[in-house]
Amino acid sequence: MIIKPSWEKFTPKEDDIVINIDPGMAFGTGTHESTYLCIEKLQSIDLLNKRVCDVGCGSGILSIVAAKLGSIKVSAIDIDPISVKTTRENSLSNNTDNIISVFEGDLLNTINNKYDIFIANILPNVIVELIPSVEKLINKNGLIITSGIIKEKSDFIISKLKEHNFSIIDTTSKGEWVCILAEYNA
């Protein structure tokens, strides 16, 4: 997978998946450790024909990765209108706008569909607030990929996920950042 600024020229090889990103004022260029960890997790799971929800989508990079890796539908949500605009623009420039729908608002007031996979690369306190909403909107055996978590907060996030019927499949770290992959088991 090649992630590059939208203004930079690049000649891909036949098997390269290229993602053009113009982050604007939104978070998400692919270089931050937490974003890198989420991309790594997305590449490690089967996304083919899965419904994905990216909460706190920022630049839309994780939504675009999910779409490029075979998701049938991606809902990208952010409370920040600049992030919503940036995600729409990046989705269009990556020809994923037929797969990605972008919404401004919070999770419960914006979405009423069920999803196979949730992605949340956001602050730990926001992740904790989101977990009960995700539990209502995730399919049985659905997955959550969450990062934006520093190592000292990871045990707390793991305990909150377990309280809401998630079992931890894997945790990975890069620098001081942690990414958690968990499965819903209710």
Is 9 inside a domain boundary?
no
Give the dihedral sign, CA 11/36/72/23: negative
Give the span between the Cα atoms of 129 and 29, in whole angstroms: 25
Number of domains in the chain: 1
Is 1 inside a domain boundary?
no
Is 6 inside a domain boundary?
no
Q: Give the domain CATH number at 116.
A: 3.40.50.150
Q: Compute the average pLDDT of residues 40-64.
A: 97
Asked whether the predicted pLDDT for residue 23 surpasses 70, the reply is no
Is 20 inside a domain boundary?
no
Strand, coil or helix: 110: helix
Is 170 inside a domain boundary?
yes
The closest alpha carbon to 116, from 165, 148, 62, 73, belongs to 73
Give the span between the Cα atoms of 37 and 181, in whole angstroms: 10
Confidence of residue 3 (pLDDT cuts 50, 70, 90): confident
Give the span between the Cα atoms of 73 and 149, in whole angstroms: 26
Is 37 inside a domain boundary?
yes
Please state, rounded to an integer, the average pLDDT across all residues of the chain: 92
Is 10 inside a domain boundary?
no
Q: In the prediction, which pLDDT does 29 show? A: 60
Q: Compute the average pLDDT of residues 62-69.
A: 98
Is 12 inside a domain boundary?
no
The whole domain housing 37 covers 25-184
Q: Compute the average pLDDT of residues 106-113.
A: 82
